[in-house]
């Protein structure tokens, strides 16, 4: 009888251990994208355990009450313009904040001075940033940011040296 109780207790302990381990493995990361004071500024805040995010930042435009991805390139979770390309993923430590370079509002020269054949500013409207975990299971979107200036007015005001 004592052996049966001991085996039952061991099984219950191991079962609870595996339940907690699997719950932690499948836990949802606690990531928030906050907007800065100026157009295009954003911050990625990790409110939970360390998380891996894909470097690419997707820009979505709101039209007809739906969000649609627009073809913005070269917008990444990078804090500086370096000669080497940014890594494909970024790890953000527990309770840490990432301060990426702001988006210029351009389709191609989104953060740094990349060489682009087709480029230009986005039009007026509502936009948001979306990032994805490295495994592709979770996406996080910012609140809407509004572009209120004319198509070219904002673009030229944000270019380096202007």
- Per-residue model confidence (pLDDT) at position 122: 86
Q: Please enumerate in sequence order all residues whose Cβ is within 8 A of that of 155, keeping only pairs 6 or more positions apart, or say none.
A: 104, 105, 106, 120, 121
Token pair in block for residue 15: 């079962």
Q: 114 is written with which tokens? A: 């990349």
CA separation for the pair 105, 122 (Å, rounded): 6
How high is the pLDDT of residue 111?
93
Q: Where on the phi/psi map is residue 161: left (φ > 0), alpha (ψ -120 to 50), or beta?
A: left
> What domains, with CATH codes, occur in the chain?
29-158 (2.60.40)
18 pLDDT higher than 50: no
Q: What does the pLDDT read at residue 20?
A: 41
147, 105 in Cβ contact below 8 A? yes
Question: pLDDT for 62-117, tens place per residue?
Answer: 999 999 999 999 999 999 998 888 899 999 999 999 999 999 999 999 998 877 87
SS3 13: helix
Judge whether residue 119 has pLDDT over 90.
no
Tokens of 29: 């990361």
Residues of the chain with pLDDT > 90, as a percent, come to 62
pLDDT tens-digit map of 40-65: 999 999 999 999 999 999 999 999 99
CA distances from 135 to 49, 68, 70, 89, 131 (A): 15, 22, 22, 10, 12
pLDDT for the residue numbered 145? 95
- For the entire predicted model, the pTM comes to 0.75
């Amino acid at each position: 009888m004592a052996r049966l109780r001991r085996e039952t207790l061991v099984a219950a302990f191991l079962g609870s251990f595996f339940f907690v381990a699997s719950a932690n493995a499948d836990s949802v990361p606690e990531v928030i994208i906050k907007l800065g004071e100026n157009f295009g500024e954003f911050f990625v805040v990790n409110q939970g355990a360390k998380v891996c995010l894909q470097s690419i930042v997707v820009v979505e435009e709101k039209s007809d009450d739906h969000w649609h991805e627009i073809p913005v390139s070269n917008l990444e979770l990078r804090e500086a313009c370096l000669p080497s390309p940014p890594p494909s993923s970024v790890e953000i430590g527990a309770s840490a904040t990432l301060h990426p370079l702001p988006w210029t509002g351009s389709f191609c020269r989104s953060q740094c001075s990349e060489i682009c054949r087709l480029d230009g500013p986005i039009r007026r409207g509502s936009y948001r940033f979306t990032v994805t975990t490295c495994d592709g299971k979770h996406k996080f979107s910012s609140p809407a940011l509004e572009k209120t200036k004319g198509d070219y007015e904002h673009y030229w005001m944000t270019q380096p040296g202007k």
